[in-house]
Amino acid sequence: MSNFLVTGSNGQLGSELKKLSSNYEYNFIFTCKDELDITNKIDLAKFIEKNNIDIIINCAAYTAVDKAENEKKLADDINHIAVKNLAQIAKDKNIKLVHVSTDYVFAGKHYKSYKENDTTNPQSIYGKTKLDGENAMMDINPLNSIIIRTSWIYSSYGNNFVKTMLRLGKRKKELDVVCDQVGTPTYAKDLARVIFDILPKIQNKQVEIYNYSNEGVLSWFDFAKEIMKMAKLDCKINSIETQDYSTTVARPHFSLLNKSKIKKEFDIIIPYWKDSLDKCLKELGERK
């Protein structure tokens, strides 16, 4: 039986992987930053060797987009250096590595869906550090390893847009939500299931990048409207432009991910975003 390490296990994706893990025949070790410091290469290598790890899914990430501008070293340590450490150890010990990245590696300034080989141009420290992590992994090139870029992730676990809208929708009569940032949300449970399902099929000599989000195209405004509708919350959603939203960090205006590659190579069907939102709200007990 393979020994399976999941880093960042207290996050949204890590929590969903943990919940689904009983359905799969692996010996799982779930770690968080307090249990395993993946930025410390020596300690990381000792942990992996001691537990005879065969497969790693790296869900650990620094995701505070605004704070990253003032915490560059911390963001770089987690999003870049830690990935470099994992990739080097994976290569040295012939370990399969799945690393999760983001749509923020793109500028988001055109209006066609991004394919995996499109030019990257991150507009924030968060995006730059995530891209640096990707590039480090590509340069080291561990065997049978992949990068999955995802977007707008949410879950019944942790803090996310869906839970924020539910909380505010119960307290406020109206909310302002940006309408000019377009992409697709990703239900973390769907991504977790896909990762488990494709793992046995991953066989490649060069690190491959895949895009994954739910199907469909929408803005954050559309997303918020549907959350209120499904939860039957009497809260009006007003559309505003990004320039009217209080933030100092550039976010992609159009970051729709093209999923053709992962669908074709692994023969998977990706759920529509409304269907996945419905499932998440039911799990939260908020679907009315």
Q: Which residues are catalytic?
A: 126
Amino acid (1-letter code) at residue 282: K
At 130, list the tokens.
Answer: 């995530």
Phi, psi at 181, each rounded to 5°: -115, 115
Strand-pair partners of 57: 6, 98
CA angle 10, 11, 12 (to 5 degrees): 125
Neighbour-count burial of 14, counting CB atoms closer than 10 A to its CB (0-12 exposed, 13-18 middle, 19+ buried):
buried
Neighbour-count burial of 18, counting CB atoms closer than 10 A to its CB (0-12 exposed, 13-18 middle, 19+ buried):
middle
At 70, list the tokens.
Answer: 């003032």
Contact indicator for 1, 25 with CB cutoff of 8 Å: yes
Contact indicator for 11, 64 with CB cutoff of 8 Å: no
Beta strands 55-58 and 27-30, pairing class? unpaired
Phi, psi at 261, each rounded to 5°: -65, -50
At 196, list the tokens.
Answer: 């488990």
At 95, list the tokens.
Answer: 């370990």
What are the distances in angstroms from CA 148 to CA 114, 211, 212? 13, 6, 7
